[in-house]
């Protein structure tokens, strides 16, 4: 199998979710940035070995058509919007996803800043969420989040594209992101037992509730889906809480990987449009979907050998300028009018042409 991007990493202490849209005429510069994956991550990660910095890049359907010619991943399309009897989920613009993870927020921030700075003028950041690992890996509803994720071989089979699914993109994956906000005062007005029936697990000890107690509208039931042969379909989630206490802005950044978007979309259909037994997932009474996008996650080798660009995209662009890593303090530089102002970031290029 082609070497996949490092999708199956354990939950880290920090994450930054960056979604950008490509500006008109920015395609060549974006292609240039893509060729610098995974060097970009290494340039921050190597100096911070304890951080276990990890960057996964996803590409949206419209962006794919603007950036590349040739074969497109079979199931790459825009995430549909869901309009249910009570709750809705929007489909929001997203050309590229940068899923940055690490044990320390600082290097994650540094990498996000390098990406955003180098794309300035070529792409616009439309979504930026800093997530954190809450105690016991709980979400802000207070429940442990991620327990039922598959592990080992089962995770590998669930997440990476095999030749039968798409022979041209073996080792790739699909990822869906959605930002949810939680009206916590409403949630906290429930008793613990009521909350447990919304999720389908016990709150403190994270046990799955017996079937006799779990309502059909519980989050667990809504998201347990089986193929006609009875095999359960799995996805790998890496949700992170986010929030600001002063404005009582609380939420979960939902992110899930799978070798086909159809599994995640079936789950969303059940959650928002309901099943024969329940009108919608009860978690939605306490979780409001604010964004939603779908991306293809190519294997690593893709970035070193991008498909040809469409005719109207120049194959050569001025190299994307990657900001230098350290503040460059140059005495008198500002006064002399040469180089960056004292105390500002010096500019250098990973391609070494703009030093
Ligand atoms: C507000 C956003 C969400 C929150 C706070 C949340 C929270 C949780 C929690 C606490 C669990 C139980 C523990 C676990 O197995 O991880 C869970 C399970 C799960 N969630 Fe979510 N979730 C959210 C959105 C979603 C969405 C949008 C999907 C799918 C499209 C999803 C799919 C799943 C799946 C597949 C499971 C495991 C079910 C099982 O096999 O037991 N979740 N979620």
CA separation, residue 3 to residues 96, 175, 176, 301 (Å): 20, 17, 21, 7
State the burial class of residue 353 (Cβ atoms within 10 Å of its Cβ: 0-12, 13-18, 19+): exposed
- Residue 322 confidence (pLDDT): 60
Structure tokens at 195: 């909350």
Task: Ligand 1, residue 178: give the atom nearest the CA.
Answer: 27
CA separation, residue 319 to residues 113, 250, 284, 351, 353 (Å): 17, 39, 45, 7, 8
Structure tokens at 276: 């024969």
Structure tokens at 141: 């509803």
CA separation, residue 148 to residues 15, 206, 224, 311 (Å): 21, 10, 10, 46
Q: How far does residue 341's CA lie from ligand 1's centre (Å)?
A: 49
pLDDT tens for each residue of 275-306: 999 999 999 999 999 999 999 999 999 999 99
Structure tokens at 169: 């993109």
Please choose from 219, 233, 255, 256 the residue to mutate so as to test ligand 1's pocket, defined by most ligand atoms within 8 A of CB. Answer: 219
Helix axes 27-34, 105-119, angle to 10 degrees: 140
Low pLDDT (below 70) residues in the chain? 314-355
Structure tokens at 157: 């089979």
Q: How far does residue 250's CA lie from ligand 1's centre (Å)?
A: 17
- Characterize the bridge pairing of strands 323-327 and 82-83: unpaired
- Residue 317 confidence (pLDDT): 58
Task: Ligand 1, residue 206: give the atom nearest the CA.
Answer: 13
- Residue 279 confidence (pLDDT): 98
Only one residue has tokens 């703009």, namely 354
- Measured in Å, how far apart are the chain's first and last C-alpha atoms? 38
Catalytic residues: 145
DSSP state for residue 168 in the 8-state scheme: G
Structure tokens at 48: 């911070």
Q: Which residues line ligand 1 (CB under 6 A)?
A: 139, 141, 143-148, 178, 180, 199, 201, 219-220, 223-224, 235, 237, 239, 252, 254, 256, 264, 267-268, 271, 283, 287
Cα(168)–Cα(302) distance, rounded to whole angstroms?
A: 11
Q: How far does residue 283's CA lie from ligand 1's centre (Å)?
A: 9
**Do 292 and 178 touch, CB atoms closer than 8 A?**
yes
- Residue 336 confidence (pLDDT): 39
Q: How far does residue 220's CA lie from ligand 1's centre (Å)?
A: 7
- Nearest-CA residue for ligand 1 atom 32 is 223
Cα(256)–Cα(233) distance, rounded to whole angstroms?
A: 13
Task: Ligand 1, residue 234: give the atom nearest the CA.
Answer: 35
Q: How far does residue 72's CA lie from ligand 1's centre (Å)?
A: 30
Cα(233)–Cα(66) distance, rounded to whole angstroms?
A: 32
Torsion of CA 1, 103, 263, 83, to 10 degrees: -150
- Residue 353 confidence (pLDDT): 34
Cα(136)–Cα(100) distance, rounded to whole angstroms?
A: 21
- Nearest-CA residue for ligand 1 atom 24 is 254
């Amino acid at each position: 199998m082609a070497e996949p991007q490092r999708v199956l990493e354990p939950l880290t202490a920090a994450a930054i979710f960056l979604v950008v849209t490509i500006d008109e005429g920015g395609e060549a510069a974006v292609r240039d940035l893509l060729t610098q994956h995974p060097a970009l991550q290494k340039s921050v990660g190597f100096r911070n070995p304890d951080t276990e910095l990890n960057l996964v890049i996803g590409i949206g359907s419209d962006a794919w058509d603007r950036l590349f010619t040739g074969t497109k991943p079979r199931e790459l399309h825009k995430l549909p919007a869901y309009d249910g009897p009570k709750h809705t989920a929007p489909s929001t613009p997203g050309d590229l996803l940068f899923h940055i993870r690490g044990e320390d927020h600082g290097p994650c921030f540094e990498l996000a800043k390098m990406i955003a700075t180098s794309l300035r003028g070529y792409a616009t950041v439309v979504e930026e969420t800093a997530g954190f690992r809450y105690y016991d890996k709980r979400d802000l509803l207070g429940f442990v989040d991620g327990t039922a994720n598959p592990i080992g071989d089962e995770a590998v089979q669930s997440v990476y594209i095999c030749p039968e699914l798409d022979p041209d993109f073996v080792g790739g994956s699909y990822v869906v992101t959605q930002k949810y906000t939680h009206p916590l005062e409403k949630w906290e007005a429930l008793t613990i037992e009521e909350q447990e029936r919304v999720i389908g697990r016990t709150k403190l000890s994270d046990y799955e509730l017996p079937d006799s107690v779990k309502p059909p509208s519980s989050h667990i039931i809504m998201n347990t889906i089986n193929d006609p042969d009875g095999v359960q379909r799995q996805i790998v989630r890496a949700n992170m809480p986010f929030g600001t206490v002063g404005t009582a802005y609380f939420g979960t950044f939902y992110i899930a990987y799978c070798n086909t978007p159809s599994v995640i979309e079936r789950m969303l259909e059940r959650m928002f449009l309901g099943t024969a037994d329940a009108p919608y997932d009860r978690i939605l009474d306490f979780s409001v979907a604010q964004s939603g996008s779908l991306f293809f996650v190519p294997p690593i080798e893709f970035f070193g050998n991008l498909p040809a660009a469409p005719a109207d995209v120049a194959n050569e662009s001025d190299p994307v300028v990657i900001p230098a890593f350290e503040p460059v303090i140059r005495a008198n530089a500002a006064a002399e009018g040469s180089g960056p102002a004292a105390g500002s970031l010096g500019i250098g290029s990973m391609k070494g042409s703009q030093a």
